[in-house]
Amino acid sequence: MWKWYQFYCILLHTSVLAMERKTALDSPFNIMLLRSLRNWSFDVFGITGMEEKYLQIARRANKVQKSIPNYVPFPCNVTGSRSPEVPESVHKLRPGDIDVIAAMGDSLIAGAGIFANSVFQVAIENRGVTATGGGQGTWREYLTLPNIIKLISLMIGANDFCNEMCWISSPWSILENHKVDLLQVLRILRDNLPRTFVALIPPPHLKNLVDTRQRRPSFQCFVTTDIECSCLFGLAFQRYKSIYYDIMRQWQILEMEIADYPEFQRNDFVVVAQPILLNITVPLASDGYSDMTYLSSDCFHISQKTNARFANGLWNNLLETVGAKSTTWSDLFHKFYCPTLERPYLATALNSKQ
């Protein structure tokens, strides 16, 4: 009988293997500085997602989704959402069948700066309201995937794009390195976690983020993005930007291909690519320029209402058949799919053909 601690031990082990290689920001001094900043932020501000005064500031800044009134029903009929008996095959999973949630990735997955109203709060992680791993409140307040379903979500890449590919002699080599690392992680999960559905989420292409800063000049954004994503925003690397854009697109394609490997399409384990972030853009404000309320105070991480959009799109991806999944998001709840009698299961390559 599987115990909870066994599950968590395996996840911790694979998380270590999935960590990016050393970069220019990984010196002992910088690591100590980051830890000191995080500890100071927690001591001064606490958990911003739990402190009402910070939640109110975020709401006034329009960075939080609008709450859904109690009289509005959940978009889907939840009757029959769980199988009468535990299914033997991961290709016959209904949303209510999965009982364990996990999310693996970088600071975007950890919820850094979701409720931040200053750059000093970006180091505070609000894991309870992240799109893939949250669970704080309900879908009416914070739409997150665990309010709907439980599974392992994996998204990695932003730190490689921002802080690694410009600091190595061959930027293209990060693709092969990532392939080796990702295969190792997925094989460990496959060999140690039976009856698991892995949602592999290719990271967003960051060109849109670069364009956002150009259209909204801000000294604070200029400083923070140069520090957090020097490869794409630093002046020293501007002449290589087109190469970096190509690498990011190939990274996305690589993950889509790996998800389809036959070795990850077993009866008790499956990896399915969820391409909801492939072609996303930051929504525009009324003046026709990027709406910065979708970003955190550092103009790099994302706000809560962006996590809500992400969760909505990811939920739809899980139900959309392989080969016909959405690659960009829409307004919150504008499109919210539900299981049907004809297609009651989470979509996999196998059941998409049926």
Is there a domain that residue 13 lies in? no
Dump pLDDT digits (tens) for 153-203: 999 999 999 999 998 999 999 999 999 999 999 999 998 888 889 999 999
| Separation between Cα atoms, residue 331 and residue 275, nearest integer Å | 17
The total number of structural domains that make up the chain: 1
What is the Cα 320 distance to its own chain's centre?
A: 18
pLDDT of residue 59: 85
**d(Cα 251, Cα 74) in Å, to the nearest integer?**
36
Q: Which domain holds residue 92?
A: 36-68+79-319
Q: Does residue 111 sit within a domain?
A: yes
Average pLDDT over residues 327-353: 94
For residue 332, is it within any domain?
no
Residue 146 has pLDDT above 50, yes or no: no
Residue 199 covered by a domain: yes
Phi, psi of 120 (to 5 degrees): -70, -15
**pTM to 2 decimal places:** 0.79
Please tell me the predicted confidence (pLDDT) of residue 63. 84
55-91 burial string, b = 16+ CB within 10 Å, else e?
bebbbeeebbbeebeeeeeeebeeeebeeeeeeeebb
> Given a cut of 70, is residue 16 above it in pLDDT?
no
Please report the pLDDT score of residue 48 as a whole number: 60
Report which of 297, 300, 287, 276 is spatially closest to residue 212, judged by C-alpha positions: 300
The answer to whether position 40 is within a domain reads yes
Q: pLDDT confidence of 148, banded at 50, 70, 90?
A: very low
Strand ranges (E), 160-279: 196-200, 269-273
- According to DSSP H, which parts of 46-137 are helical? 52-60, 107-110
Handedness of CA 299, 304, 306, 311 (dihedral sign): positive
- Domain assignment present for residue 1? The answer is no
Confidence of residue 77 (pLDDT cuts 50, 70, 90): confident
Between CA 135 and CA 85 the distance in angstroms is 25
What is the C-alpha separation between 192 and 187, in angstroms, rounded? 8
pLDDT at res. 188: 93
pLDDT reading at 214 higher than 80: no
Average pLDDT over residues 40-44: 68
Mean pLDDT of 334-347: 94
> Rounded to whole angstroms, what are the CA distances from 195 to 62, 96, 189?
40, 14, 10
What tens digit of pLDDT does each residue of 288-330 get? 889 999 999 888 998 999 999 999 999 999 999 999 999 999 9
Rounded-to-integer distance, Cα 302 and Cα 279, Å = 16
CA distance 276 to 103: 16
Amino acid, res. 239 = R
Is residue 143 included in any domain, yes or no?
A: yes
Coil, strand or helix: which one is 133? coil
Highest mean pLDDT among 76-80, 129-133, 327-331: 327-331
In whole numbers, what is the pLDDT of the chain averaged over residues? Answer: 83
Residue 238 CA, distance from chain mean position: 27
Contacts of residue 185, Cβ cutoff 8 Å, sequence gap at least 6:
14, 17, 18, 104, 154
Residue 220 lies in a domain: yes
